[in-house]
C-alpha cells in the first residue's frame, strides 16, 4: 500500500553536488561498466576522498559474452574498468551475477515476449540487479552505498528520498530507475545527475587521463549481440509459431513469423500492403496471443487515451484519484499530460489529455510531478 498524494507536496531539496547527500563515513561500491559515465562517477567519488572500490558485474555465462562492447557484457569492459580503477587508486573486483540476471531479468524478458508483450529489461535490471543483488553483496563487503553512472538525481523531502530527472534532460534515465524503493534509493548515488552535457563528462575523463574518455556510448540491450529478433529466436525456440496478420475487422491480410517479433506501433517488416493503393501505411495495433494474431491498421487506429497498468511501485507518495500528472511511456519518450482515473492496491488507470501512439503492453508507464518521478507500473492494456 502507499500514501496517496492528495495535495501538492513540499518541494524536495536537490543539492547541486550529488555527493553532498553522502555522509563522510560512507563506503561506496561503484558499479563500473567500463564506460566513460561510470568511470567519471568513480573519479568524482575518489577525488572527494570517500572510501570506494569498483565492481564490474558479470551477467552472461562464459562463451555467451557479446562480441560488441556494450558495457557490462564484454571482456574489454572488465579490462577498461580495471584500468580506470587503477588510475584512480581504488580496488576493483568482478562479481558474477549470471544466475541472478537469468532468473530475475532474462526469464521475464523471455516470458513477456513469448506472451505477446514488449518488456523493458533495463528497468528490472536496475531494480533487481544493480540496486538488488549488487547492493546486497556490496553491503556484505562493507559498503554503505552503490554508485552508478546513471543520469538522474536524488533529493530529500523531510525524511523521504525522492528521485528526479537529470539536469541534462537528453540523457535522463529516471524512467529506468522508477522502481527503486526508499531503502534502495537511500543507498543510491548518481554522481552525474547534475551535469548539463555529456561532452562535459568526456572532457573531465580526458583531463583525468581515463582510458574510457573517448569510448562510444553503449547501445541497445547489453545482453544482445546483433539484432534483438535473432536473440529472441535463439532464446524462444519452440515458443512461437507463424500465424495470421489481420485487420481490426478480422480479415486476414498475411502471415506473421511469430508474436515475439512484433510490437505495437511497428510499421516495418509486416510484409502486407494496404488494401487500396491510396490507403495509409499499416501499423501493428495489437498482439492477440490467444489467437496467435497480429492486428494491423492505420496510425489513427493506433492512438490510445486510456491506459491500465498493474505491478505499480511508488517511490514515496503515490498519486490520488483525480490527480494531474505527466506520464512517460518509453525510456526516451516525451512526457504527456494525464489524469489519474482509478487506483487499486497495485494498479492504476490513466487518461491522457492527448491520445498517444505506441502504447505497448509490457512497457513501463512512469508518472512524474514536474521533474520528480513518483513511480509507475507495467502497461497491461490500452484503449
**pLDDT 10s digits, 282-310:** 999 999 999 999 999 999 999 999 999 99
Could you give the C-alpha distances from 239 to 32, 114, 115, 185, in angstroms and in order?
35, 6, 9, 37
Residues 322 and 226: their CA atoms lie apart, in Å, by 45
Residues 294 and 255: their CA atoms lie apart, in Å, by 9
β-pair partners for 29: 53, 146
Cβ distance 377 to 346 under 8 Å? yes
Q: Which residues contact 164 (CB under 8 A, 6 or more apart)?
A: 12, 14, 152, 153, 154, 155, 174, 193, 371, 372, 373
> What pLDDT does 275 receive?
66
> What pLDDT does 5 receive?
47
Instruction: Compute the radius of gyration of the chain from its Cα atoms.
Output: 22
Query: Which residue in 73, 122, 222, 325 is the catalytic one?
Result: 222
> What pLDDT does 318 receive?
85
The residue whose grid cell reads 553491503 is: 139
Residues (pLDDT < 70) of the chain are 1-9, 62-74, 219, 274-278
Burial class (CB in 10 A: 0-12, 13-18, 19+), 10: exposed
> What pLDDT does 2 receive?
39
Domains of the chain: 8-208 (3.40.50.620), 240-301 (2.30.30), 303-382 (2.40.30.10)
Run of H or E residues at 338: strand 336-343
Q: Which runs of consecutive H residues, i.e. helices, occur in 128-280?
A: 134-140, 182-186, 198-208, 228-235
Q: Is 122 one of the annotated active-site residues of the chain? A: no
Residues 307 and 324: their CA atoms lie apart, in Å, by 15
> What pLDDT does 149 receive?
97
Q: Is 125 one of the annotated active-site residues of the chain? A: yes
List, for residues 192-232, the tens digit of each pLDDT value.
Answer: 999 999 999 999 999 999 999 999 887 678 888 788 999 99
Query: Which residue in 72, 73, 122, 125 is the catalytic one?
Result: 125
Helix axes 75-88, 36-47, angle to 10 degrees: 20
- 39 CA to centre of own chain: 20
pTM summary value: 0.92
Q: Supply 290's cell numbers.
A: 490467444
Q: Supply 191's cell numbers.
A: 554522481
Amino acid at each position: 500500500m502507499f500514501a496517496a498524494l492528495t495535495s501538492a507536496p513540499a518541494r524536495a531539496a536537490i543539492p547541486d553536488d550529488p555527493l553532498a547527500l553522502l555522509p563522510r563515513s560512507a563506503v561506496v561500491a561503484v558499479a563500473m561498466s567500463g564506460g566513460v559515465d561510470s568511470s567519471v562517477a568513480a573519479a568524482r567519488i575518489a577525488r572527494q576522498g570517500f572510501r570506494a572500490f569498483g565492481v564490474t558485474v558479470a551477467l552472461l555465462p562464459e562463451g555467451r559474452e557479446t562480441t560488441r562492447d556494450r558495457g557490462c557484457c564484454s571482456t574489454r569492459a572488465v579490462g577498461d574498468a580495471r584500468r580506470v580503477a587503477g588510475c584512480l587508486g581504488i580496488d576493483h573486483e568482478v562479481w558474477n551475477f549470471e544466475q541472478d540476471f537469468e532468473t530475475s531479468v532474462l526469464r521475464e524478458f523471455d516470458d513477456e515476449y513469448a506472451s505477446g508483450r514488449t518488456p523493458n529489461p533495463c528497468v528490472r535490471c536496475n531494480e533487481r540487479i544493480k540496486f538488488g543483488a549488487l547492493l546486497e553483496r556490496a553491503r556484505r563487503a562493507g559498503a554503505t552505498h552503490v554508485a552508478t553512472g546513471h543520469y538522474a538525481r536524488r533529493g530529500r523531502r523531510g525524511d523521504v528520498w525522492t528521485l528526479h530527472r537529470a539536469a541534462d534532460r537528453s540523457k535522463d534515465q529516471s524512467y529506468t530507475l522508477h522502481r527503486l524503493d526508499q531503502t534502495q534509493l537511500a543507498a543510491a548515488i548518481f554522481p552525474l545527475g547534475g551535469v548539463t552535457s555529456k561532452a562535459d563528462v568526456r572532457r573531465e575523463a580526458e583531463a583525468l587521463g581515463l582510458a574510457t574518455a573517448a569510448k562510444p556510448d553503449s547501445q541497445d540491450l547489453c545482453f544482445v549481440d546483433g539484432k534483438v529478433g535473432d536473440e529472441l529466436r535463439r532464446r524462444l525456440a519452440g515458443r512461437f509459431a507463424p500465424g495470421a496478420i489481420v485487420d481490426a475487422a478480422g480479415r486476414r491480410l498475411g502471415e506473421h513469423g511469430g508474436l515475439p517479433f512484433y510490437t505495437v506501433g511497428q510499421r516495418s517488416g509486416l510484409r502486407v500492403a494496404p488494401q487500396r493503393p491510396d490507403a495509409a501505411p499499416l501499423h501493428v495495433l495489437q498482439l492477440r496471443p490467444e489467437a496467435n494474431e497480429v492486428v494491423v491498421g492505420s496510425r489513427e487506429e493506433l492512438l490510445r487515451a486510456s491506459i491500465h497498468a498493474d505491478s505499480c511501485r511508488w517511490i514515496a507518495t503515490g498519486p490520488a484519484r483525480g490527480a494531474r500528472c505527466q506520464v512517460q511511456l518509453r525510456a526516451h519518450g516525451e512526457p504527456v499530460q494525464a489524469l489519474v482515473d482509478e487506483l487499486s492496491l497495485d494498479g492504476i488507470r490513466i487518461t491522457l489529455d492527448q491520445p498517444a501512439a505506441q502504447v505497448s503492453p509490457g512497457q513501463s508507464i512512469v508518472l512524474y510531478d514536474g521533474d520528480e518521478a513518483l513511480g509507475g507500473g507495467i502497461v497491461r492494456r490500452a484503449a
